[in-house]
Amino acid sequence: MAAPVLALQGTELTLGNTPLLEGAELSVSLGDKIALVGRNGSGKSTLLKIAAGTLEADGGVRFVQPGATIRYLAQEPDLSGHATTLDYVEAGMQAGNDAYRAQYLLSELGLTGTEDPMKLSGGEARRAALARVLAPEPDILLLDEPTNHLDLPVIEWLEAELRALRSALVIISHDRRFLSQLTRATVWLDRGVTRRLNQGFSGFEAWRDAVLEEEERDRHKLDRQIVREEHWIRYGVTARRKRNVGRLERLAGLRQERREQRRAVGSVKMTVSEGGTSGALVVEAEEISKSFGARPIVSGFSTRIMRGDRVGIVGPNGAGKTTLISMLTGALTPDAGRIRLGSNLELATLDQRRASLAPNTTLKEALTGGGSDTLIINGQPKHFVGYMKDFLFTPEQAGTAVSKLSGGERGRLTLARALALPSNFLVLDEPTNDLDLETLDLLEEMLADYPGTVIVVSHDRDFLDRVATSVIVAEGDGAWTEYAGGYSDMVSQRGFGVRALTPAGEAAPTEKPAAAAPAPAPVQKRKLGFKQKHALETLPGRMEALRARIAADHGKLADPAFYTSDPDGFAKTGKAVEKAEAELAALEDEWLELEMLREEIEGG
């Protein structure tokens, strides 16, 4: 292994009375591409700040090879003290750096270089900060959530730019696709210590699960060993004559070991309050259009969204995704065309900007609205403290102001608020922002099991692949097209991904691959969508359960004494059998259709 350019050894840090880092280590050599992963609150950003030299640890050693250049991208960069964005970027460069690179990077990131840093939006400030750390092409780049506030075209451009750099990378990100594309090693920060896997992020999750399973087995063995020792102390023949000091000390040591073991942080228990069943048709749009001034946002778009659909909406920032959602949910009237909403819709929304969270509001007030201590979740009363725990908040945080919460905690709080509302129609605007990977997994599972309809805006390609049954993408000049499947399916059908906007605000012109040079067959091959795969996996079990229920009810109806003793019960059972048989027939038709589609895809 090459000598490290940057190394942290035995890093320790305590916040208040809580140990955050307990001997964490990080070693970065030239050319390394490392994913730094861990739960929200595990200390990833803190460890990166210590590596960058902007925060001093309580203990441990930090080594930097003399002459090495390190650049650090903070989650909230400080651009004060500079007249323009170009001045800000150039201030981070050194003698000998390419003088034109600063302007090139700013242009690629959608900035001119003349902007006043104090007047930038959060996304624009993020882009300027990216240009500043990339410009000098340092030996090591430390990137904390580099894709936050970036749209898909910029994320994909950044991937290509980082891949071309010779700089070593240490990246914190919730974007699985981004990490998988760029990293060749993974450092897992868990319960204050680090473990290293010499594989990129794509191999991390299986390895992490294996490590946790082994821990659980070891913990179980330790528990059984303690029980055996306690049994000997109480009932052993020798113990009745005299206490064996050695075994007593051994038991005390085992108990101490058990106390000192830190279990993995619990998982979010994510459920959504279901409303009544909506009609089969949720939204129907016919040739809808909307313009702001001379600029078309949506032009002649039509779609039909049915109950159970999960629709992803993608496009560059400024394409009009929020406008399209507002029309599809009835909040905005189109200039032309018609919107028809289904019956019995109960809408719940997740705000991308978390604007509904007032900074001085406490966590309890944000969840309860300042009223009762009890929430109604799925028709059942639940105390707000229990609901807080489901989203990994402690009872002590009930009085904490929203402004004091981390980005990940605000993300979980906003999710908790949205999911507490009874709904059969969820609209989620950038739900993955600031969520850790485990919480993303649970959100994906919840959406897969949610019986209602979902519209989701996201720049997270992996999330869209796992969740969406179709994707609506901005084509430019107000045109929108719907593609079956997730993001990767859309790219396969369309021939390219999401493109950036031109200065005029319209999507950049694109050209599909020439007919003479088709994409390779594996890329173009059709695939089942997430919902279809989920249905194929679950339908056989549901059908089997229905058949068993029908058989049991037929057995009851075959008993002559049933009608004589309980005519009302006999009639109800007969109606239940008819309903179950109709449901079974519908499920069998659905399964047969999906199975034929699967065979067609796999055969061709």
**Per-residue pLDDT tens digits for 367-379:** 887 777 887 776 6
Average pLDDT, the chain: 81
Name the percent of the chain lying above pLDDT 90.
Answer: 33
Residue 48: count other Cβ atoms within 10 Å of its Cβ.
24
Per-residue pLDDT at 350 exceeds 70:
yes
Angle at 30 between CA 27 and CA 35, to 5 degrees: 55
Six-digit token string for 563? 């009608």
Please give the residue that has the higher pLDDT: either 511 or 206.
206
Range with the lowest mean pLDDT among 35-44, 319-328, 385-394?
A: 385-394
Per-residue pLDDT at 223 exceeds 90:
no
Q: Which residues does 326 contact at the CB level (< 8 Å), separation at least 6?
A: 332
Tell me the C-alpha distance between 336 and 334, whole Å.
5
Which CB contacts under 8 angstroms, 24+ apart, belong to 11-19? 11/47, 11/50, 11/57, 11/59, 11/60, 11/62, 12/57, 12/58, 12/59, 12/60, 13/43, 13/46, 13/50, 13/57, 13/58, 13/59, 14/58, 19/192
Whether 71 and 133 have beta carbons less than 8 Å apart is answered as yes
Residue 599: count other Cβ atoms within 10 Å of its Cβ.
10
| Res. 334 pLDDT band, cuts 50 70 90 | very high
Which CB contacts under 8 angstroms, 24+ apart, belong to 303-306? 303/328, 303/472, 303/482, 305/281, 305/453, 305/455, 306/280, 306/281, 306/282, 306/453
Per-residue pLDDT at 524 exceeds 70:
no
List residues bridging with 374 in a β-sheet: 383
Q: Which of 276-280, 480-484, 528-532 has the highest mean pLDDT?
A: 480-484
Q: Are strands 336-341 and 281-292 parallel, antiparallel or unpaired?
A: antiparallel
- Can you tell me the mean pLDDT for 408-430? 80
Instruction: Determine the pLDDT at residue 16.
Output: 76
pTM exceeding 0.75: no
Whether 468 and 487 have beta carbons less than 8 Å apart is answered as yes
Instruction: Determine the pLDDT at residue 437.
Output: 78
Instruction: Determine the pLDDT at residue 383.
Output: 85
Q: Which residues does 307 contact at the CB level (< 8 Å), separation at least 6?
A: 277, 278, 279, 280, 281, 282, 342, 424, 452, 453
Six-digit token string for 117? 């840093």
| Res. 473 pLDDT band, cuts 50 70 90 | very high
Please give the residue that has the higher pLDDT: either 16 or 604.
16
Q: Which residues does 563 contact at the CB level (< 8 Å), separation at least 6?
A: 570
Provide the residue type at 539 as one letter.
Answer: L
Whether 601 and 528 have beta carbons less than 8 Å apart is answered as yes
| Res. 58 pLDDT band, cuts 50 70 90 | very high
| Res. 110 pLDDT band, cuts 50 70 90 | confident
pLDDT in tens, 151-184: 888 899 999 999 999 999 999 998 999 999 999 9
Instruction: Determine the pLDDT at residue 233.
Output: 53
| Res. 250 pLDDT band, cuts 50 70 90 | low
| Res. 390 pLDDT band, cuts 50 70 90 | confident
Q: Which of 215-219, 472-476, 516-520 has the highest mean pLDDT?
A: 472-476
Six-digit token string for 299? 């032009």
Please give the residue that has the higher pLDDT: either 260 or 88.
88
Report the candidate in 271, 229, 199, 595 with the shortest Cα–Cα distance to residue 443.
Answer: 271
Q: Are strands 453-457 and 425-429 parallel, antiparallel or unpaired?
A: parallel
- Can you tell me the mean pLDDT for 592-599? 68
Instruction: Determine the pLDDT at residue 508.
Output: 47
Tell me the C-alpha distance between 365 and 579, whole Å.
45
